[in-house]
Amino acid sequence: MIRIILDTDLAMGAPGSDIDDGFALALAHADPDIRIELVTTVNGNTDVESATLLGLELAERLGATSIPIVMGASAPLLRPDRARRAPGGIRERYGHRSPQPGHAAEKIVELVMANPGEITVVAIGPLTNIAVAMSLDPGFAAAVKEIVIMGGIFLGQTNKAEMPGEFNVWVDPEAASAVLHSGAQLRWVGLDVTMRVRLSREDAGALSAGTGSFAPFAGEYTAAWIDFLAAANPGDTSQADSCAMHDPLAVAVLTRPELVTWRDAHVDIVTGEGLARGVMVADLLTSEHPPAANCRIAVDVDAEAFRAHFLGTIARL
C-alpha cells in the first residue's frame, strides 16, 4: 500500500475550469494500492479557497469524506500580493463545507515526520506548500519517502512567450527551486510525457453516459474544458478535440512506474522575473564529468497503456 499526501490546486467543478486535478484525486482514490492520507490545497489553477471547497465537494461525490482536506498557501512564496479569494458563486454553491483546521504545510510536516520513510507526496500544483514544509522542518526532505511532481518540461519548451515555463513551475519557480535543491527523492512527470496522454470528446461522451456519481459529472466538465481550450488556443490544432491528463499520469506512475521511461538528471530552474521565468534546464548527465543527479525525469510514456488503466478505472466511479 502506497500512502500518499495529494497536494493540489483542484479546479474541477468550476465553469470552464481545468479538470485533471479532479481526475487525479479520483484515480488515487480508486486505486486499491494507494491510500490517500491527506489532501492539501494550494493556489494555482484557481485560488486556494476555491480549490479547497471544490475538493470537499469532489471528495463527497467520490465517497471519500473521511480523507482530511487542509487549505494551504494562497500565493507564491515571494508574491504574497497575488493572493486571491473564491468567487461569490463558488462560495454560495460549496461554502457549506469546511476543511480541517490548520495550515497545509504544517499538516504535511506532521504526517511525514510521524511516519519517516513511509509517506509519498504527490504534488500536482505549484510547489509552494512543499517548499514551506521543507522550511518548517529541516528533517523533512530526508523523512519523506518520495515526492512525485507533475511539473516542468525538460526536453522541449512551452513555446509560449507569456508563460515560458510549465504552469506549475512558472507560478512559483522559487518554491520549485527550493524543492529541487532539498536533497529529497524526486520524480518529475512533465509536459514531455503528459501532453501525450489525452481524453477526447468521444471519451467525454462515454463518461457522461456512465451511471456512477463521478463519471457523468467528469464527462460533462471534460467536454466543457475541451471547448474552453479550443477557444483559447485557436492556433493549436491539438487542443481542438482533446485535453491532456497531466496530473492523473503523476498518480498512475505510483503503482505503475513502467508507464513511463525514467532518466536521471540534474535540473535547475530560472527564477525571478524575466523572459525565461520558470524555464527548467536539464542536464542529462552525458558529459565526461556530469553534475550529480538531483532527480529523475519522465522522458517517454506508453500512452495506450495509461489510457486503458485510466479509463477502465474512472468509468467505474
Mean pLDDT of 299-304: 98
Report CA torsion sign: 300, 192, 194, 304. Answer: negative
Residues belonging to the active site: 246
Whether the per-residue pLDDT at 15 is higher than 80: the answer is no
Tell me the backbone φ, ψ of residue 148, rounded to 5 degrees: -105, 125
HEC string of 48-104 equals HHHHHHHHHHHHHHCCCCCCCEEECCCCCCCCHHHCCCCCHHHHHHHCCCCCECCCH
Domain boundaries, the chain: 2-314
Say which residues have a Cβ less than 8 Å from residue 262's Cβ, sequence separation at least 6.
187, 296, 297, 298, 299
Residue 151: its pLDDT value, please?
98
- Chain centre distance of CA 179: 15
pLDDT confidence of residue 106? 98
pLDDT value of residue 235: 87
Q: Are strands 260-269 and 295-301 parallel, antiparallel or unpaired?
A: antiparallel
Cβ density class 14-48: b for 16+ within 10 Å, e for less? beebbbbbbbbbbbbbbbeebebbbbbbbbbbbbb
Q: What percent of the chain has pLDDT over 70?
A: 100
Length of the chain (residues): 317
pLDDT for position 27: 98
Whether the predicted model's global pTM rises above the 0.85 cut:
yes
What pLDDT shows up at residue 36? 98
CB 37 within 8 A of CB 111: yes
Looking at residues 61-79, what average pLDDT do you find?
Answer: 97
pLDDT at 289: 96
* CATH 3.10.450.50 at 2-314, yes or no: no
Residues sharing a CB contact under 8 Å with residue 213, sequence separation 6 or more, in sequence order: 61, 62, 63, 317
Q: What is the mean pLDDT of residues 212-239?
A: 90
224-236 pLDDT per residue, tens: 999 999 998 888 8
Cα–Cα distance for residue pair 267/73, rounded to 1 Å: 25
| Structure confidence by residue, pLDDT tens digits, 165-191 | 999 999 999 999 999 999 999 999 999
Q: Give the whole-number percent of the chain exceeding pLDDT 90.
A: 91
Nearest Cα to Cα of residue 219 among 56, 19, 36: 19
DSSP state of 146: E
Residue 12's CB: how many other CB atoms inside 10 A?
28
What mean pLDDT comes out for the span 98-112?
Answer: 97
Written as one letter, the residue type at 229 is L
**pLDDT classification of 220: cutoffs 50, 70, 90:** very high
